[in-house]
């Protein structure tokens, strides 16, 4: 496929803001204000997809085109040389749970490919807000066997075998593939995950939705790496999580910061790859020579392509900036390399 380079302008792949996509979920909310100016007229909304394939560019030369189409047309411009995929590797969401989600598990890459899917689903949750006593369920209690999980599904007592984690605003929870888990009400979560929507429901509190017990038990692991991740405070940023598929950083913008500082030090010979800039609070602006400034209102997200020209991020008032970087597991076949 011949790659669309975005025209001869050096700003052809400048950072651009993305329109969110509101996804109905039975356990969601109808009114997402003040987080998003959105009130559902039909089914409640549980997830706001910020980087889904259905989302479209809101600014720049590619305004109106969906992310799915852009990644298909120009994978190298967006992802950089050496990326192991031609499509969007990450899905970023905000989760609004009014009721308990199902107790569920996601497959790893190998199991997903066994069933014809391109990738599995490892994810993390960053608590944008949390009520007092807010909890999530992450993993199985020690001594729980897969057969015991099967029995407890049948007796509607699976919750009793889950590890319960208290969460507060600013907490990061890692949920690697194979972890039996559930999100409960009381928090607003920024979820970053592999771009996969494969979910195997093990228990759903009596809702009339399909369960996937056999595949779920095949995917489930007794022990995983899941749990809270302590932040790593550096001189110019706080690393919230750094794992094989994604890295998240909270960066304080003191007035303005150029993109070379925003990217941080790179390994020798490395070039920046795909990243996203999310305004968890406050507002900012992305500007640079050759392209129109990109406003970054609260809870908006901008895509920063690998081939983006130099730019500057400005704090226009209370900007709480989260940088999300796509990562490639060690040893991954690099299909896009020359």
Q: Which residues are known catalytic residues?
A: 201
Assess contact for 323 and 92: CB atoms under 8 A.
no
**Cα-Cα-Cα-Cα dihedral of 138, 141, 142, 146, to 10°?**
-90
Structure tokens at 285: 């602006």
Q: What are the backbone dihedrals phi and psi of residue 114, each rounded to the nearest 5 degrees, phi first?
A: -60, -35
Residue 204 CA: distances (Å) to CA of 83, 182, 189? 37, 10, 20
Residue 70 CA: distances (Å) to CA of 112, 275, 309? 24, 15, 18
Give residue 276's Cα distance to chain centre.
Answer: 10
Cα(146)–Cα(182) distance, integer angstroms:
17
Which residue reads 């940088």 in tokens? 323
Assess contact for 220 and 162: CB atoms under 8 A.
no
Cα(324)–Cα(328) distance, integer angstroms:
13
Residue 309 CA: distances (Å) to CA of 80, 221, 265, 273? 13, 43, 17, 12
Residue 15 CA: distances (Å) to CA of 5, 141, 142, 146, 282? 14, 44, 46, 46, 19
How many C-beta atoms lie closer than 10 Å to residue 316's C-beta? 14
């Amino acid at each position: 496929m011949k790659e669309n380079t975005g025209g001869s302008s050096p700003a052809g792949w400048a950072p651009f803001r993305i329109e969110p996509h509101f996804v109905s979920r039975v356990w969601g909310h109808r009114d997402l204000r003040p987080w998003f100016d959105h009130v559902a007229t039909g089914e409640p909304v549980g997830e706001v997809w910020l980087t889904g394939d259905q989302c479209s560019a809101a600014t720049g030369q590619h305004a109106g085109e969906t992310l799915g189409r852009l990644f298909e047309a120009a994978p190298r411009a967006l992802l950089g040389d050496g990326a192991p995929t031609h499509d969007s590797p990450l899905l970023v969401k905000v989760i609004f749970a009014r009721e308990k989600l199902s107790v569920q598990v996601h497959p790893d890459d190998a199991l997903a490919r066994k069933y014809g899917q391109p990738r599995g689903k490892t994810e993390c949750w960053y608590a944008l807000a949390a009520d007092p006593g807010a909890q999530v369920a992450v993993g199985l209690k020690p001594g729980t066997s897969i057969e015991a999980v099967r029995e407890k599904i049948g007796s509607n007592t699976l919750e009793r075998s889950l590890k319960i984690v208290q969460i507060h605003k600013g907490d990061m929870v890692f949920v690697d593939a194979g972890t039996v888990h559930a999100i409960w009400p009381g928090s607003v979560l920024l979820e970053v995950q592999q771009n996969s929507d494969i979910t195997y429901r093990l228990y759903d509190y009596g809702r009339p939705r399909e369960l996937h017990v056999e595949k779920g038990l095949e995917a489930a692991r007794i022990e995983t790496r899941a749990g809270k991740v302590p932040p790593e405070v550096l001189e110019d940023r706080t690393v919230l999580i750094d794992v094989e598929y994604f890295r998240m950083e909270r960066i304080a913008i003191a007035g303005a910061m150029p993109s070379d500082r925003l990217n941080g030090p790179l390994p020798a010979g490395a070039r920046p790859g795909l990243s996203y800039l999310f305004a968890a609070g406050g507002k900012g602006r992305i500007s640079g020579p050759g392209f129109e400034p990109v406003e970054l209102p609260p809870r908006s997200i901008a895509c920063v392509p690998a081939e983006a020209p130099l730019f500057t991020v400005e704090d226009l008032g209370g900007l709480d900036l989260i940088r999300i970087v796509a990562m490639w597991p060690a040893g991954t076949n690099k299909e896009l390399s020359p």
